[in-house]
């Protein structure tokens, strides 16, 4: 199968979701695309100051409205994709660039703000990142935003996640994972961006190690006979289902019910038995709480599958 490359250029970048965006590439099911992406804020060079207001050089010629969201590469259309189908998105490889940043803002009791900006040097070969203070962490790179165009017409913000994916900020979607997304428009129109070298569940300061990605290799497979309502994924270590809502409890219910559907089908058990097994084996994790629409994922570890 063919392999294609997408570089972050004016015609391949956009900062909103829309079904009206023209695809920058149209591929067949089973083909592979290699993306190079900017960091989420459109920076084209590393930050040099720990003062958040001192911005780095950013991508030129941005539209003040259409490019106000995450710097996304795409969209990619898949021939034959139609609403009601499912697109399998397999992350073959995710390699970060050599720099990143994390910011935190904390309100003091006197209502003044305290801030810190961590400047990270990333070593993709050794799988580590180090701050200006010398703190070193083991990285686990993934794409914060991966999704399809929504069915609704018009332009849509990139910040909230949706049932078609988007800004899910799910740290489990590392290389070797397959993300399954419901197709809402003809062609699907897939875009990705918002590279993260490492993030904790919740993304509590609002940022991870935000970084550009040197190489994100993705293979796309169309599943015409499969219909889903919310994203789910198979990772190297388990299976997960996702729920999104402004109400964290509702997001939890969506993720849990999707996991029960998955267990019923995978293990060929009744709904009540799926619930009992989920209570023993499934972890409910807060994906993120910082994007207005909260995320929860239900995680079923593969190493629990002994003789089920």
Predicted confidence (pLDDT) at residue 25 exceeds the cutoff of 90: yes
Q: Enter the tokens of residue 110.
A: 């006197």
- Please give the pLDDT value at position 289: 97
- Please give the pLDDT value at position 110: 84
How big is the CA angle at 160 (ends 190 and 108), to the nearest 5 degrees?
A: 140
- Please give the pLDDT value at position 109: 83
CA 193, 262, 150, 158 torsion: positive or negative? Answer: negative
Dist. CA 299–CA 271, nearest whole Å: 17
- Please give the pLDDT value at position 89: 98
Predicted confidence (pLDDT) at residue 305 exceeds the cutoff of 80: no
Instruction: Provide the 3-class DSSP secondary structure of residue 219.
Output: strand
Question: Could you tell me the CA-to-CA distances from 151 to 35, 189, 191, 298 in Å, in that order?
Answer: 24, 11, 15, 26
- Please give the pLDDT value at position 124: 98
pLDDT band at 306 (very low <50, low <70, confident <90, very high): low
Predicted confidence (pLDDT) at residue 57 exceeds the cutoff of 80: yes
**Structural domains of the chain in order of their starting residue, each with its CATH number:** 3-236 (2.60.120.580)
- pTM of the predicted structure, to 2 decimals: 0.96
Average pLDDT over residues 63-84: 97
Average pLDDT over residues 140-162: 98
Average pLDDT over residues 105-116: 87
- Please give the pLDDT value at position 307: 64
Average pLDDT over residues 11-25: 98
Beta strands in the chain (DSSP E): 3-6, 13-14, 25-27, 32-37, 72-78, 86-96, 99-107, 113-123, 128-130, 136-138, 142-148, 165-167, 178-182, 190-196, 213-223, 232-234, 238-245, 283-288, 294-301
pLDDT band at 135 (very low <50, low <70, confident <90, very high): very high
Q: What percent of the chain has pLDDT over 90?
A: 91
When mean pLDDT is compared across 104-118, 138-152, 157-171, the lowest value belongs to: 104-118
Dist. CA 223–CA 87, nearest whole Å: 6
């Amino acid at each position: 199968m063919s392999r294609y490359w997408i570089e972050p250029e004016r015609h391949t970048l956009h900062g909103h979701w829309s079904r009206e965006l023209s695809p920058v590439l149209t591929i067949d099911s089973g083909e592979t695309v290699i993306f190079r992406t900017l960091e989420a804020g459109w920076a084209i060079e590393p930050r040099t100051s720990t003062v958040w207001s001192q911005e780095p050089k950013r991508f030129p010629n941005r539209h003040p409205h259409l490019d106000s969201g995450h710097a996304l590469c795409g969209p990619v259309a898949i021939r034959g994709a139609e609403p009601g189908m499912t697109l399998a998105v397999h992350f073959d490889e995710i390699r970060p660039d050599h720099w990143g940043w994390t910011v935190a803002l904390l309100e003091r009791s006197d209502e003044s703000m305290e801030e810190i900006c961590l400047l990270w040097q990333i070593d993709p070969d050794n799988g580590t990142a180090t701050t200006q203070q010398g703190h070193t962490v083991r990285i686990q790179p993934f794409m914060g935003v991966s999704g399809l165009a929504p069915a609704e017409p018009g332009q849509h913000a990139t910040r909230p996640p949706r049932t078609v994916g988007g800004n899910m900020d799910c740290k489990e979607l590392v290389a070797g994972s397959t993300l399954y997304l419901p197709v809402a428009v003809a062609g699907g129109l897939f875009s990705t961006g918002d590279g993260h070298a490492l993030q904790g569940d919740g993304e509590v300061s609002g940022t991870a190690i935000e970084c550009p990605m040197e190489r994100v290799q993705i293979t796309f497979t169309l599943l015409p006979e499969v219909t889903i309502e919310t994203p789910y994924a198979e990772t190297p270590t388990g299976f997960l289902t996702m729920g999104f809502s402004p109400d964290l409890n509702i997001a939890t219910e969506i993720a849990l019910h999707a996991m029960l559907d998955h267990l019923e089908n995978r293990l060929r058990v009744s709904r009540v038995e799926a619930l009992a097994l989920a209570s023993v084996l499934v972890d409910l994790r807060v994906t993120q709480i910082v994007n207005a629409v909260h995320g929860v994922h239900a995680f079923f570890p593969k190493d629990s599958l002994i003789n089920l």
